[in-house]
């Protein structure tokens, strides 16, 4: 795409950043964002028509998704040799304007930035169990540091009772949501059938034919050693013969169970959580680690408050996830930039 009024070099830099932004993860791959370019500044806007009306009425998950897109913009600009100047929620009178990212002074990308940038189009969300290969402790410690730099807290859950409690809350929320037909229809809307040419939604090769239970024993030496547990999956294949046949013999481990929390529960905190999440996910991907998300309990206000009070020391849980080594690979789909950029 051509941006009027820019030098060729700046034009290419902005195009690179926009291409990176569109590969951010989002809830059900809804891609709830648009971008507008003015001079050397990129505006990130929420696409409220893509918000999940029943699952995410307050827009929390939408803003976490958009925060991940902001992180991709930042990373791509640094990799392209420009320091990003970011303003979060710059105009109170325009609530859909979530951030502006301006090209700053020239910088030399460091090794960490290059590593993260190299994973932007490679990272994939996983929706099953993991192999028995343990996740090294040093990676978990690094994810904690990376989340902290973005204003969030990444906490691995090691206590067997706590893991069982999280699994049970996830199962309970999924059971309740699966009995809600409008809620189920909303999930099914974002399940792509085989051969679909849509640029959004969850591809049929990215979820199992039936929600697989991650039954699951962590091998000795993993961090932390996990007990058996079942983390319910979304039923994207509901009433359809779609999805993949998961090889349960190769996909049995829970992986590292973790919570991502923030001290506040504001729109700014949600955007910070999204940036922290993407920072962790890109670093994990660079080391062959995938993530599976389990947000069902966080979508039920009473369960989320229970988690905050009893398991998060008063901090607000923004994401519940498992991280591990996946045996399978899936392909990603994204809408073209022409659908994401305002004229």
Please indicate, yes or no, if residue 319 is contained in any of the structural domains.
yes
CA atoms lying within 13 Å on the CB side of residue 259: 27
* Interhelix angle 181-189/160-178, nearest 10 degrees: 100
Chosen domain end from 66, 98, 122: 122
Q: Looking at residue 187, which CATH number applies to its domain?
A: 3.40.109.10
Give yes or no: residues 174 and 285 share one domain: yes
Give yes or no: residues 286 and 142 share one domain: yes
- Which class for 212: exposed (0-12), middle (13-18), buried (19 or more C-beta within 10 A)? buried
Q: What percent of the chain has pLDDT over 70?
A: 85
Please indicate, yes or no, if residue 267 is contained in any of the structural domains.
yes
**What are the residues whose beta carbons fall under 8 Å from the beta carbon of 8, sequence distance 6 or more?**
none
Cα–Cα distance measured from residue 145 to residue 43, given in angstroms and rounded to the nearest whole number: 28
Cα–Cα distance measured from residue 137 to residue 148, given in angstroms and rounded to the nearest whole number: 17
Cα–Cα distance measured from residue 294 to residue 120, given in angstroms and rounded to the nearest whole number: 22
Please indicate, yes or no, if residue 336 is contained in any of the structural domains.
no
Q: Find out whether 44 and 98 touch, Cβ atoms under 8 Å.
A: yes
Cα–Cα distance measured from residue 247 to residue 243, given in angstroms and rounded to the nearest whole number: 13
pLDDT in tens, 146-203: 999 999 999 999 999 999 999 999 999 999 999 999 999 999 899 888 888 899 998 8
Please indicate, yes or no, if residue 277 is contained in any of the structural domains.
yes
Chosen domain end from 73, 97, 122: 122
pTM for this predicted structure: 0.90
DSSP type of residue 135: P
**Residue 53 — pLDDT band, cuts 50, 70, 90?**
very high
**Residue 209 — pLDDT band, cuts 50, 70, 90?**
low
Q: Which domain holds residue 172?
A: 137-324
Q: Helical H runs in the chain?
A: 8-21, 60-79, 111-117, 137-149, 160-178, 181-189, 267-286, 301-311, 337-340
Q: How many domains, in total, are found in the chain?
A: 2
Give yes or no: residues 277 and 157 share one domain: yes
Please indicate, yes or no, if residue 334 is contained in any of the structural domains.
no
Q: Helical H runs in 80-136?
A: 111-117
- From 156, 180, 147, select the one nearest 52 (Cα to Cα): 180
Chosen domain end from 95, 122, 149: 122
Cα–Cα distance measured from residue 262 to residue 273, given in angstroms and rounded to the nearest whole number: 7
pLDDT in tens, 217-276: 444 334 433 333 479 888 876 666 666 665 544 456 899 999 999 999 999 999 999 999
Give yes or no: residues 93 and 237 share one domain: no
Please indicate, yes or no, if residue 90 is contained in any of the structural domains.
yes
Cα–Cα distance measured from residue 214 to residue 279, given in angstroms and rounded to the nearest whole number: 25
Give yes or no: residues 39 and 186 share one domain: no
Please indicate, yes or no, if residue 128 is contained in any of the structural domains.
no
- From 78, 6, 74, 1, select the one nearest 38 (Cα to Cα): 6
Give yes or no: residues 61 and 106 share one domain: yes
pLDDT in tens, 83-130: 999 999 999 999 999 999 999 999 999 999 999 999 999 999 988 788
Give yes or no: residues 171 and 214 share one domain: yes
Give yes or no: residues 113 and 195 share one domain: no
Q: What percent of the chain has pLDDT over 90?
A: 73
Cα–Cα distance measured from residue 178 to residue 189, given in angstroms and rounded to the nearest whole number: 14
Give yes or no: residues 152 and 58 share one domain: no
Please indicate, yes or no, if residue 48 is contained in any of the structural domains.
yes
Give yes or no: residues 53 and 16 share one domain: yes
Give yes or no: residues 205 and 64 share one domain: no
What tokens does 52 get? 């999940």
Three-state DSSP class for 177?
helix
Give yes or no: residues 171 and 64 share one domain: no
Cα–Cα distance measured from residue 282 to residue 298, given in angstroms and rounded to the nearest whole number: 23
């Amino acid at each position: 795409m051509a941006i009027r009024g820019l030098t060729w070099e700046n034009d290419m830099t902005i195009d690179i950043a926009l291409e990176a932004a569109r590969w951010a993860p989002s809830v059900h791959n809804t891609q709830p964002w648009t971008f507008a370019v003015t001079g050397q500044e990129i505006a990130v806007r929420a696409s409220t028509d893509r918000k999940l009306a029943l699952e995410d009425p307050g827009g929390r998950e939408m803003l976490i998704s958009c925060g991940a897109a902001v992180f991709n913009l930042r990373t791509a600009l640094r990799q392209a040799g420009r320091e990003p100047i970011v303003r979060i929620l710059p105009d109170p009178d325009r609530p859909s304007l979530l951030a502006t990212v301006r090209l700053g002074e020239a910088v030399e990308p460091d090794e960490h930035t290059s590593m993260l940038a190299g994973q932007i189009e490679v990272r994939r969300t996983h929706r099953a169990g993991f192999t028995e290969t343990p996740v090294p402790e040093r990676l978990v410690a690094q994810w904690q540091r990376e989340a902290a730099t973005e204003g969030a807290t990444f906490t691995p859950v090691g206590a067997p009772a706590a893991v069982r409690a999280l699994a049970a809350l996830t199962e309970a929320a999924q059971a309740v949501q699966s009995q809600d037909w409008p809620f189920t229809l909303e999930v099914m809307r974002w399940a792509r059938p085989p051969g679909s040419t849509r640029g959004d939604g969850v591809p049929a090769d990215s979820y199992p034919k039936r929600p697989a239970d991650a039954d699951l024993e962590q091998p000795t030496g993993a961090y932390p050693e996990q007990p058996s547990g079942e983390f319910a999956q979304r039923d994207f294949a509901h009433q359809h013969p779609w999805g993949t046949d998961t090889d349960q013999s190769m996909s049995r481990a829970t992986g590292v169970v973790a919570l991502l929390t923030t001290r506040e529960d504001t729109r700014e905190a949600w955007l910070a959580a999204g940036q922290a999440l993407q920072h962790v996910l890109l670093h994990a991907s660079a080391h062959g680690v995938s993530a599976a998300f389990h947000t069902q309990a966080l979508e039920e206000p009473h369960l989320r408050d229970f988690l905050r009070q009893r398991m998060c020391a008063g901090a607000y849980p923004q994401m519940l996830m498992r991280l591990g080594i996946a045996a399978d690979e899936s392909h990603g789909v994204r809408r073209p930039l022409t659908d994401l950029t305002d004229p």
